[in-house]
Structure 1
Amino acid sequence: MSERILEEIKQTIRQYETIIIHRHSSPDPDALGSQGGLAAILRETYPEKKIYKVGEVVSGLEFLVTMDDISDELYKGALVIVTDTANSPRISDPRYALGDKLIKIDHHPNDEPYGDLIYVNTKASSCSEIIADLWQFFEDEWIMTSEAARLLYAGILGDTGRFLYPSTTSHTLNVAADLRQYNFDAAKLTRELQEMPLKVARLMSVVYDRLEVDQNGAGRVILPHDLLIELGISDSETSQIVSSPGVIDDLLAWGIFVEQAHGGYRVRLRSKAPIVNTIAKEHHGGGHPLASGARAHDITEVDAIYTKIKAACAEFINNEKK
């Protein structure tokens, strides 16, 4: 860790009476876990401060944390902290720009910097791991709570695929072990993260039925908006099925293309080995090497993205044979 930046972050947090914490739109457990976990730690450490967490309501993850409904006026003279968000267009609630100062804390590649203070650690499994690291770095002052530990543990579980993904390191496991010492039901939390509504399970069956896979293990699924309406599925709920094709042994990398009500497609890319974030960056997105998001204006761009997934898988296989 850069001690100078971290000390500057701590001193800046000390200076402000009002702190408003944002995260990215369409949040996953890590976005909510890092946001909520940081808020819980700061509230316990600085009870005299006003700490808020904001963003849109998320269907299916209400059990993790709820957002605060605040007025624009509260941003005047406030410190804004944004967690787990690579670029400013993805920040949930555009009022983040109304604050006096902005701190960015993230684990995605810092390709689009924003904010007055930036701390990015791309080696971390998750932003929740980073928040836990900050707590341990500031252990002489910051106070962990059982609720904060629950949220940070949930975020780590989410972004590591329950410690399955390559981003899981020995340090990740040590952090998770430290959090498990606090009083929360980890088994219940894991079940809650894994459970899904029947309608989402039905969507998963559609994913397997419609999955295209080429000879090199490149896959794609296109989910029309009419299908989501028929199943009663919201756009945010489709995130629950993105990793499901990974259980197929012949699949190397894949894209889930979700048609939007206003047109175009939300693109979610996943991979077991070929790099896919370079593809995402070429199509209005970005993310981690093996897990990224993008946008496609139309079916022609969907086809173009799938062609690049095919090329990435073919190149990976050819390199493996050398």
Structure 2
Amino acid sequence: MFQEILAQIQNYHTIIIHRHMKPDPDALGSQVGLKEIIKHNFPDKRVLATGYNEPSLSWVAQMDEVADSDYKDALVIVTDTANTPRIDDKRYTKGAFLIKMDHHPNDDVYGDICYVDTTASSASEIICDFAQTVGLGLSDEAARLLYTGIVGDTGRFLYPATTCKTLAIASFLRQFQFDFAALSRRMDSFSLKVAKLQSYVFDHLEIDPTGAARVLLTQETLKHFDVTDAETAAIVGVPGKIDSVETWAIFVEQADGHYRVRLRSKEKVINTIAKRHDGGGHPLASGANSYSLAENEQIFQELKDLFA
């Protein structure tokens, strides 16, 4: 299928690349990393990356200005996005041909070409695998972006999705010229206000005897620490550092009153719970949505039931 994707890239002059809303390093790394690969190998093509510019990740990449007219006769590629409601910039349907490249469970099959590899650690790993397989060269900037995405989605190579193939691709990317140490420091650091929020999470984390844990971050709490919803991503892994915690949920109240639910687990599969609550994701790392405190309780009970 990689050859089919390459053929479509060769066929189109304008290529517009999308990714998911509320981007993380892998979303941006795969999206803009692919853009840089195409530009490097096909300098005459017009390649654009579209979506919201997340301020906390401005150091990873910036988006392009994309007009409606740009979609005429354009190839559209969506990376790192499991389902269509999560695609950032709803104009993705306005192109002439659509390709999906992703590593999440393929519950929403979309696109004229749909390439999904759930064994890959990240969408960035898939993009690098694609380039290597079809013989496309990488620039230093493409390598930096893809390496950033892999490091982000593997939790610095700590998560079970890290395979020997992941490490081989990361090793390949490290051959290029970018400041690996500075990148690693940047990904492992956070602001003082996020550090204080991390302390709050430890102080307010409820741990059930089953090993299920939860914490609620209200709008009032976010305002108190002066953090945005996006910045709370920095504390998602915090409960898992406690040895007695096996699975956990972080409930983040949104401005409209519903709750964004970040679900994580060390061994038990939790994406089935996420799917029951307007979400989905990887077996051990998922997201959901809750529309009441009662639904929050239900989700937490379902986490506890995993150990019944």
TM range (shorter): over 0.9
Aligned partners of 1:203, 1:73: CA distance in 2, in Å? 44
Aligned partners of 1:17, 1:237: CA distance in 2, in Å? 37
Aligned partners of 1:177, 1:230: CA distance in 2, in Å? 42
Q: Structure 2: where are the runs of 5+ without partners?
A: none
Which amino acid letter does the alignment assign opposite residue 56 of structure 1?
A: Y
1:306 to 269, 277, 300: 300
1:19 to 15, 19, 34: 15
Which amino acid letter does the alignment assign opposite residue 228 of structure 1?
A: L
Are 1:250 and 2:237 matched, yes or no? no
Q: For residues 284-318 of structure 1, give each alpha carbon's deviation from its aligned partner in whole angstroms, at most 9, with x where no partner exists.
A: 10000000000001111111000001111x14xxx
Specify the alignment match of 1:88 in structure 2. Answer: 84
Aligned partners of 1:256, 1:76: CA distance in 2, in Å? 42
Which amino acid letter does the alignment assign opposite residue 50 of structure 1?
A: R
Aligned partners of 1:251, 1:180: CA distance in 2, in Å? 34
Q: Does the residue aligned with 1:255 lie in a helix, a strand or coil?
A: strand
Specify the alignment match of 2:258 in structure 1. Answer: 264
Deviating runs (4+, > 4 A) in structure 1?
none
Aligned partners of 2:260, 2:304: CA distance in 1, in Å? 19
Say if 1:76 and 1:99, in contact at 8 Å, map to a contact too. Answer: yes
Aligned partners of 1:181, 1:136: CA distance in 2, in Å? 14
Say if 1:59 and 1:236, in contact at 8 Å, map to a contact too. Answer: no
Aligned partners of 1:52, 1:250: CA distance in 2, in Å? 46
Specify the alignment match of 2:129 in structure 1. Answer: 133
Say if 1:101 and 1:116, in contact at 8 Å, map to a contact too. Answer: yes
Are 1:283 and 2:274 matched, yes or no? no
Q: Does the residue aligned with 1:60 lie in a helix, a strand or coil?
A: helix
Aligned partners of 1:51, 1:67: CA distance in 2, in Å? 11
Give 1:77 deviation, angstroms: 1.2
TM-score, length basis structure 2: 0.99
Q: For residues 100-122 of structure 1, give each alpha carbon's deviation from its aligned partner in whole angstroms, at most 9, with x where no partner exists.
A: 11100000000111111100000
Q: Does the residue aligned with 1:270 lie in a helix, a strand or coil?
A: strand
Mapping for residues 163-174 of structure 1, pairs under 5 Å: 163-174=157-168
Q: For residues 65-97 of structure 1, give each alpha carbon's deviation from its aligned partner in whole angstroms, at most 9, with x where no partner exists.
A: 110011111111111100000000001111112
Give 1:59 deviation, angstroms: 2.4
Are 1:146 and 2:140 matched, yes or no? yes
Question: Percent of aligned pairs with the same residue?
Answer: 54
Say if 1:22 and 1:54, in contact at 8 Å, map to a contact too. Answer: yes
TM-score, length basis structure 1: 0.94
C-alpha RMSD of matched pairs (Å): 0.8
Which amino acid letter does the alignment assign opposite residue 201 of structure 1?
A: A
